Structure 1
Amino acid sequence: MHELSAEESAIVRLVREWVDREVKPVVNELEHANTYPEELIDQMKQIGIFGLAIGEPWNDAGVSAACYAAVTEELARGWMSLAGAMGGHSVVAKLIQAYGSDEQKDRYLPRMATGEIRATMALTEPGGGSDLQAMRTVARRQGDEYVINGSKTWITNARRSQLVALLCRTDPDAQPVHRGVSILLVEKGPGFEVSRDLPKLGYKGVESCELSFSDFRVPTSTLLGETEGKGFAQMMRGLEIGRIQVASRALGVGAAALEDALRYAQERESFGQPIWKHQSIGNYLADMATQLTAARQLVQFAARRYDSGERADMEAGMAKVFASETAMKIALDAVRIHGGYGYSTEFDVERYFRDAPLMIVGEGTNEIQRNVIVKELVKRNPARS
Structure 2
Amino acid sequence: MSLAPAPRAWMNPELEMLRDTARRFFETECVPHQDDWARQKHADRGIWRRAGELGLLCAGIPEAYGGGGGGFQHEAVICEEQMRAQVNSFSLNVHSGIVAHYLLVYGSEAQKQRWLPRMAAGDLVAAIAMTEPGAGTDLQRIKTSAVRDGDHYVINGAKTFITNGLHAGLVCIAVKTDSQAGAKGVSLVMVEVDGLPGFRRGKLLDKIGQQGQDTVELFFSDMRVPAANLLGGEEGRGFAQLMQQLPRERLLLAIGSATTMQRAVDETLAYVCERQVFGAPLMALQNTRFKLAECQTRATVARTFVDDCVARLAAGTLDVPTAAMAKWWVTDATCQVIDECLQLHGGYGYMVEYPISRMYTDARVGRIYGGANEVMKEIIARAMAR
TM over 0.5: yes
Give the residue type in structure 1 aligned to 2:369.
Answer: G
Q: Secondary structure at the match of 2:203?
A: strand
Cα pair 2:42 2:90 within 8 Å, conserved: no
Give the whole-Å Cα distance in 2 for the aligned partners of 1:193 and 1:247: 32
Change (3 A) 1:262 1:43: farther
Q: Which runs of 5+ in 2 are unaligned?
A: 1-7
State how 1:32-43 maps to structure 2 within 5 Å: 34=41, 36-38=43-45, 40-43=47-50
State how 1:55-94 maps to structure 2 within 5 Å: 55-59=62-66, 61-82=68-89, 84-94=91-101
Partner of 2:10: 3
String of CA shifts for 1:35-68, please: whole Å, max 9, x gaps.
5244544432222221223123223523322332
Corresponding position: 1:244 with 2:251: yes
Corresponding position: 1:294 with 2:301: yes
Corresponding position: 1:46 with 2:59: no
The CA deviation at 1:24 is: 4.0
Partner of 1:180: 185
Q: Secondary structure at the match of 1:159?
A: coil
Partner of 1:339: 346
String of CA shifts for 1:217-244, please: whole Å, max 9, x gaps.
1111010021111111111122111111
String of CA shifts for 1:10-35, please: whole Å, max 9, x gaps.
21233224334444444345435645
Larger displacement relative to structure 2 (240-249 or 45-54): 45-54
**Identity score, percent:** 33
Larger displacement relative to structure 2 (146-155 or 269-278): 269-278
Match of 2:273 among 266, 272, 282: 266
Partner of 2:323: 316
Give the residue type in structure 1 aligned to 2:108.
Answer: S
Q: Secondary structure at the match of 1:51?
A: coil
Partner of 1:156: 163
Give the whole-Å Cα distance in 1 for the aligned partners of 2:322 and 2:44: 33
Larger displacement relative to structure 2 (288-297 or 122-131): 288-297
Give the whole-Å Cα distance in 1 for the aligned partners of 2:149 and 2:36: 50
Partner of 2:216: 209
Give the whole-Å Cα distance in 1 for the aligned partners of 2:318 and 2:190: 24
Partner of 1:143: 150
Change (3 A) 1:85 1:4: closer
Change (3 A) 1:201 1:86: same
Change (3 A) 1:105 1:40: closer
Cα pair 1:8 1:63 within 8 Å, conserved: no
Q: Secondary structure at the match of 1:247?
A: helix
Partner of 2:383: 376
The CA deviation at 1:141 is: 0.6
Instruction: Output the TM-score relative to the length of structure 1.
Output: 0.92
Change (3 A) 1:96 1:10: same
String of CA shifts for 1:241-289, please: whole Å, max 9, x gaps.
1111111221232222122111111111222322112111111211111
RMSD: 1.9
Q: Secondary structure at the match of 2:306?
A: helix
Give the residue type in structure 1 aligned to 2:201.
Answer: V
Cα pair 1:85 1:206 within 8 Å, conserved: no
Partner of 1:383: none
Give the whole-Å Cα distance in 2 for the aligned partners of 1:185 and 1:160: 16
Q: Secondary structure at the match of 2:160?
A: strand
Cα pair 1:302 1:312 within 8 Å, conserved: no
Give the residue type in structure 1 aligned to 2:191.
Answer: V
Instruction: Output the TM-score relative to the length of structure 2.
Output: 0.92
Give the whole-Å Cα distance in 2 for the aligned partners of 1:56 and 1:115: 15
Corresponding position: 1:285 with 2:292: yes
Q: Secondary structure at the match of 1:232?
A: helix
Cα pair 2:60 2:67 within 8 Å, conserved: no
Give the residue type in structure 2 aligned to 1:13.
Answer: D
Q: Secondary structure at the match of 1:251?
A: helix
